[in-house]
Amino acid sequence: MDQTARKAAIYIRVSTDAQREEGYSIDAQKEALTAYCVSKGIKHYDYYIDGGFTGSNLDRPEMQRLIRDVEQDRISHVLVYKLDRLSRSQKDTLHLIEDVLNLHRAAFVSLNESMDTGTPMGRLMLGILSAFAQLERENIRERTRMGMKERVKAGYWMGGGKIPFGYDYDSEQGILVPNTDAETVERMYRLYLQGYSPGNIAEMTGLKYDRQVMQILKRKTNTGVIVYQGEEYSGRHKPIVSQEIYDRTMLEMEARSGKNLHAEVNLLTGLVFCGHCGAKMRYQKWGKKGHKLVCYSRQGSKAYLIRDENCPQEHVWADEIEEAVVEDLFRFSAKKQLDKSQDEAETVEMVLQGQIEKMEKRLRRLYRLYGEAEDEELRQEIEEQREELKGLREKAVLEAERKTLSRKRTRTLEAISSLADIWSEMKPLERRVLVDQVIERVTVTDRFVGIDYKI
């Protein structure tokens, strides 16, 4: 292409922050660069303006158009107000100059640094200044990292990025806030500890893949902590599950790893604790004879689960403990009678509802009277009645919750009422689910077994 037909390219870039800085606005850069062209007698020039784009890469629309025009030999000069307007990356800057502009005989001019790559000194200055621009960018990144770490240390969420399932990000408070999916997350932990597979849990909770279930269960954010650069910090956000539930879930994952869940389901996983030191006890394969229950204080593989390094608890055969638990469970189910408090709950709830309805009618009458003739005594009586109504409604809510718990307890008792008759016909997973519903904790002290029931 004829050299005289080529034009100068005035390239202007502003980032979001730079638009607020004096001297970096689009108009300011355009004015200075146009004046330079006039002073040098350059009559043919065009503007290439990227507004609101970072200089950390070349993925900018006008930059790409400029590169295409250079490669088609349409450009004689590329002019910028300052070197970092072209790019903040030394690698990208040198690539543009050496592999694009020089290859197509296009000179590069940076007004602020008085640089012209048409001269040897200009090319030397380019390499030096590009290195400084890269250094500044890395310093900014490092300062940003340090600021982020301090933010996380104070318990605030990193901001932006991918928000964990079950939470929303409150930008004003700078913290995570549980949303409607939090109940689904809590349910996932409960189902997993009851023995369900990740695939089953995905189907039951409406997720697409079992891998998503595992990712959510492993996320420590759910316990109220923030993990940043491999370190854990206490977050200001509300946890979805307790640390105990999370630890039990991780232990269950470890117990299941490398095993066929349907072939082997340990009956008491996550429920057994050492009576000497209070640490959890885990199933451990013991040759061909079966499993033993091992106190984590004695096992030592997980330092955070150790309660006493000198714990005297011996390893015990898991099947012996399971047999003792099952026998006690049979005796427990045989002597438990169905709770009769549900009928009482129904009666109390009806009485409270009747009182609430009467109070609401009385308040409506008082409001009408007050509307006809404003009276201070009437106003005070209305306030008193409102407070009393508020108390009745709170009692009704508590009674409804008690009724729900009573029904749940009744269903559980009904399920175990004939446990001894159906136990042999139940699958391992069904047994595991039922035990988790009924038993809160199994404590092993030497060979003595203590059981705390939920009902």
pLDDT of residue 73: 92
Kindly write down the DSSP assignment for every residue of 217-237, as one continuous string.
HH-GGGGTEEEETTEEEE-SS
- Torsional sign, CA 401, 403, 408, 413: positive
Q: What is the enclosing helix (H) or strand (E) of 127?
A: helix 120-153
Q: Could you give the 3-state DSSP secondary structure of residue 97?
A: helix
Q: pLDDT below 70 — which residues of the chain?
A: 1-4, 16-23, 118, 123, 126-127, 129-147, 159-161, 258-264, 334-349, 399-418, 420, 455
Q: Minimal CA–CA distance to 444: which of 264, 257, 245, 311?
A: 311
- Bridge partners of 50, per DSSP, are 13
171 is catalytic: no
Q: Could you give the 3-state DSSP secondary structure of residue 411?
A: helix
Q: Minimal CA–CA distance to 102: which of 135, 83, 134, 126?
A: 126
Asked if 421 contacts 435 with a C-beta cutoff of 8 angstroms, the reply is no
Taking the CA atoms of the chain, what radius of gyration do you get in angstroms? 36
CATH architecture assignment, domain 3-149 = 3-Layer(aba) Sandwich (3.40)
Question: Tokens 């900018």 correspond to what residue?
Answer: 60
Entry pTM:
0.36
pLDDT digits (tens, 9 = 90+) for 90-109: 778 878 887 898 889 898 89
- Bridge partners of 177, per DSSP, are 168
pLDDT of residue 223: 93
Q: How many residues in the chain?
A: 455
Domain ranges of the chain: 3-149, 167-333, 337-416
pLDDT of residue 406: 56
